[in-house]
Amino acid sequence: MKRWTVWGTLGSVLLCALALRARAQDDLAGQVLAQLARADVEQARELLEHGGPLPGQARPLLRFACDVLASPEATPALSAQARALAARVEPSDLALLRDVQASVGPRGAYFEVLIDAAYAAVERAEPPQLLELSASADPQTRGLAVAAIASWLAPLRARVTQGGWLEPDEQDAVRDADLIEALIARLGERASALDRVPPELAVRVPRSATAYHALLLIEEPALPGLREADAVPGARATIAAIQSAVDLRQRRFPGSTWADARPRR
């Protein structure tokens, strides 16, 4: 009984936050979440039935939240429904899923599998989508996207540091100006204590690599943009780290470039 009382207090706070979000953004999803926080399943379903378009898998996910709240107890059917939805979750659904989990209170356990699926969807996204996700309004989605970008860059950089080279299309992808600009924009959001972790190690820990690590993995092509963004927190430290990496590469492979460390004849 005490747990439900605590949830009632927390739910009131959440309700206010979600209601403010709905009013401020005129957001259908926010309005539905506010009704879910009130446990007004009927009104939430009414909004979903007659409301406008929703991004990603938002509509089926919110309908599932209604089903969860409407059920008097946990059922295998709801668990099966959660697993089926998890197969269709998109990277952009992560922020909504966290809000939905909070809005359904003690029933939020159903959404763990969905949130895990959203994490996985971000991590397996292709670079163009990761670039878009790195500009998400949701900080956690941005951080996951940046970590996934670093994981994509790591084997490319490793190939060069081991004496190999990048193909022309790989070079174009790594030195992409939009990619570099997006990573520089995220530099100030990192935990600077992680700068001491080499990028090749940071990418081995899930969701730990930062924009700093990703820019080090890009290496020399990132320097012009960083110099232009000198006032961005972390830019100078990143420049210094890249220059050290360039010096080390050139000592190991004289005449090498950021994209080709093969011996020169």
Least confident range from 34-48, 134-148, 191-205: namely 191-205
Query: pLDDT band for position 91 (50/70/90)?
Result: very high
Closest CA to 232 of 198, 189, 202: 189
Q: Model pTM greater than 0.85?
A: no
What's the mean pLDDT in 29-33? Answer: 93
Residue 18, pLDDT above cutoff 90: no
**Arithmetic mean of pLDDT over the chain:** 89
The whole-number average pLDDT for the span 42-57 is 91
pLDDT(10) > 50 = no
Confidence (pLDDT) at 195: 82
For residue 239, CA distances in Å to 167, 226, 242, 248, 261 come to 25, 7, 5, 14, 21
Q: Per residue in 103-137, pLDDT tens?
A: 998 889 999 999 999 999 999 999 999 999 999 99
| Residue 28 contacts residue 56 (beta carbons within 8 Å) | no
Burial 115-135 (b: 16+ CB within 10 A, else e): bebbbebbbebebebbbebbe
Give 19's DSSP letter: H
The answer to whether residue 56 scores a pLDDT higher than 60 is yes
Give the percent of the chain with pLDDT over 90.
74
Give the rounded percent of residues in the chain with a pLDDT score beyond 70.
Answer: 90
Report the Cα 122 to chain-centroid distance in Å: 6
* CA R_g for the chain: 23
What is the pLDDT confidence band of residue 17, given thresholds at 50, 70 and 90?
low
pLDDT of residue 4: 34
